[in-house]
């Protein structure tokens, strides 16, 4: 049979136009398939890690908060109540113009009482930790309230006494923001289905967090502290790195996506930008600006911007912000575990040189900046901090 195919002169197999690199679809570049393969390999690796751990240790997870006593629960609720009462006193002080001395006394006396309750009566690390976190949140809200009212009175743009209302202040206490203002943007309605779904995800996420901590992280830490040989230590450091990455992702999802989004829906709070694409960060500076927006905006609004406005260099203001953040983290953790170590303070201060290192690395190797960030932050940084704190607790128990 005769072949009637005649090659066309312009149908070249190799030309400048044929092999020009192009994106066929938006979001699908040259490495799209390899990224999917990397995700599959990651899931298989984590699955193998879980199976090996269960084969060696069995099921270790205990029900969270099952050892709480009635006294401890009562003190936990009392600590939260004290944070709320302190906020009400703060509003009364501003409404009556009682001055800075009363503001400092209100903040200091209640803070000492809450710390005393946590140190002496709230022994469980989860309940004490959340009690201190809520305490710091309400303290930040109250400080923001005092500073904003002071600015409004100084500028005299409005009659602040007429604008202040207890109803708006109470609304500010429950909405998911740390920065006070006289008006907040509000949603037109609630997504009931989304609220129920996120609440279920929140509960499941909390149980998953406890499971990963009890089942995978703590056994790895224990074997590192009681090391027998170098190979075992390296193996468990890798296991701990995997565990801490999973714990961090669970914490982020449950707190920022489930909890804060649900609170925003309940309170009709419109601005639900609690995070941005921190997972694409290629430097430590980008990460701290993206991953926890409420805290970032609070420090920028009430600490960083005022210092820069008074002539302090941006570099020095950044160091002060990280030092304050480190002190707050150290305060919360030290009260929760009933022991001061200073590791969180040191870690936050180390963020300043880390920012310079990651920024320099990003400029020299733009495509590898995100890899370097993940390696420095989640593979090395977080496991090291957890290991140091656990070792401190372990040594504390050994000497008791």
pLDDT tens-place string over residues 125-156: 888 999 999 999 999 999 999 999 998 888 77
Boundary of a domain, candidates 244, 273, 302 = 273
Query: Which of residues 353 and 67 earns the better pLDDT score?
Result: 353
For residue 395, pLDDT over 70 is answered with no
Domain annotation covers residue 264? yes
263-275 burial: b if 16+ Cβ within 10 Å, else e:
bbbebebebbebb
Which residue is catalytic, options 14, 329, 356, 399? Answer: 329
For residue 208, pLDDT over 70 is answered with yes
Q: What's the whole-number average pLDDT of the chain? A: 82
- Pair 230, 325 in one domain: no
- Pair 165, 228 in one domain: no
Calculate helix-pair angle for 230-252, 32-57, nearest 10 degrees: 120
Query: Which of residues 72 and 39 earns the better pLDDT score?
Result: 72
For residue 193, pLDDT over 50 is answered with yes
The band of 262, judged by pLDDT with boundaries at 50, 70 and 90, is very high
The reported pLDDT for the residue numbered 228 is 67
Boundary of a domain, candidates 273, 295, 321 = 273
- Pair 380, 311 in one domain: yes
45-80 burial: b if 16+ Cβ within 10 Å, else e:
eeeebeeebeeeeeeeeeebeeeeeeebeebbebbb
Beta-bridged to residue 269, according to DSSP, are 186
Domain annotation covers residue 297? yes
Give the integer Cα–Cα distance in Å for 102 and 108: 10
Q: Is the entire prediction scored with pTM above 0.75?
A: yes
- Pair 179, 189 in one domain: no
For residue 224, pLDDT over 90 is answered with no
- Pair 288, 389 in one domain: yes
Domain annotation covers residue 107? yes
Is 16:25 a contact under the CB 8 Å cutoff? no
- Pair 249, 338 in one domain: no
Measured between alpha carbons, how far is residue 227 from residues 28, 55, 241 in Å?
46, 20, 17
Catalytic, 399? Answer no
- Pair 142, 232 in one domain: no
Domain annotation covers residue 3? no
The band of 354, judged by pLDDT with boundaries at 50, 70 and 90, is confident
Boundary of a domain, candidates 184, 199, 214 = 184
Give the integer Cα–Cα distance in Å for 177 and 71: 31
The reported pLDDT for the residue numbered 50 is 74
Helices and strands (H and E) in the chain: how many:
18, 0
For residue 265, pLDDT over 90 is answered with yes
Name the CA dihedral angle for 119, 121, 125, 126, rounded to a multiple of 10 degrees.
-130
- Pair 252, 308 in one domain: no
For residue 30, pLDDT over 60 is answered with no
Query: Which of residues 19 and 75 earns the better pLDDT score?
Result: 75
Domain annotation covers residue 315? yes
The reported pLDDT for the residue numbered 19 is 40
- Pair 344, 260 in one domain: no
264 HSE (CA, 13 A, CB side):
23
Give the integer Cα–Cα distance in Å for 360 and 399: 44
- Pair 264, 212 in one domain: yes
Domain annotation covers residue 144? yes
Least confident window among 15-29, 83-97, 180-194, 308-322? 15-29
Domain annotation covers residue 62? no
Query: Which tokens belong to 211?
Result: 């499971």
Give the integer Cα–Cα distance in Å for 235 and 99: 58
Give the integer Cα–Cα distance in Å for 115 and 112: 5
Range of the domain at 338: 275-399
The band of 237, judged by pLDDT with boundaries at 50, 70 and 90, is confident
Beta-bridged to residue 186, according to DSSP, are 269
Give the integer Cα–Cα distance in Å for 107 and 393: 30
Give the integer Cα–Cα distance in Å for 259 and 203: 10
- Pair 389, 287 in one domain: yes
Domain annotation covers residue 9? no
Number of domains in the chain: 3
């Amino acid at each position: 049979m005769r072949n009637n195919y005649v090659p066309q002169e312009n149908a070249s197999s190799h030309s400048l136009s044929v092999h020009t690199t192009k994106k066929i679809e938006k979001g699908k570049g040259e490495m799209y398939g390899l990224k999917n393969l990397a995700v599959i390999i990651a899931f298989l690796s984590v699955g193998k890690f879980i199976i090996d751990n269960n084969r060696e240790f069995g099921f270790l997870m205990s029900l969270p908060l099952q050892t709480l006593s009635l006294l401890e629960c009562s003190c936990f609720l009392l600590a939260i109540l004290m944070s709320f009462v302190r906020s009400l006193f703060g509003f009364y002080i501003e409404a009556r113009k009682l001055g800075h001395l009363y503001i400092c006394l209100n903040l200091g006396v209640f803070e000492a009482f809450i710390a005393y309750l946590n140190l002496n009566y709230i022994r469980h690390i989860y309940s004490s930790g959340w009690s201190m976190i809520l305490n710091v949140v309400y303290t930040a809200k109250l400080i923001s309230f005092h500073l904003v009212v002071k600015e409004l009175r100084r500028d005299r743009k409005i009659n602040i006494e007429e604008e202040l209302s207890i109803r708006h202040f109470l609304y500010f206490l429950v909405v998911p923001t740390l920065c006070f203002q006289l008006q907040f943007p509000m949603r037109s309605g609630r997504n009931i289905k989304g609220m129920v779904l996120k609440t279920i995800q929140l509960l499941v996420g909390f149980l998953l967090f406890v499971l990963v901590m009890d089942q995978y992280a703590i056994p790895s830490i224990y074997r590192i502290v009681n090391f027998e040989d170098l190979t075992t230590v390296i193996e468990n450091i890798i296991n701990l790195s995997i565990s801490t990455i999973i714990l961090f992702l669970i914490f982020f999802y449950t707190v920022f996506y489930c909890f804060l989004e649900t609170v925003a829906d309940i309170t009709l709070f419109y601005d639900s930008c609690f995070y941005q694409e921190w997972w694409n960060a290629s430097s430590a500076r980008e990460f701290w600006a993206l991953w926890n927006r409420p805290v970032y905006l609070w420090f920028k609004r009430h600490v960083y911007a005022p210092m820069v406005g008074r002539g302090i260099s941006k570099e020095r203001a950044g160091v002060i912000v990280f030092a304050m953040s480190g002190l707050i983290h150290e305060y919360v953790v030290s009260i929760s575990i009933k022991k001061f170590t200073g590791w969180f303070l040191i870690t936050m201060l180390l963020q300043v040189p880390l920012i310079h290192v990651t920024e320099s690395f990003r400029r020299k190797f733009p495509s590898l900046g995100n890899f370097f960030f993940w390696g420095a932050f989640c593979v090395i940084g977080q496991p090291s901090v957890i290991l140091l704190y656990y070792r401190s607790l372990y040594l504390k128990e050994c000497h008791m």
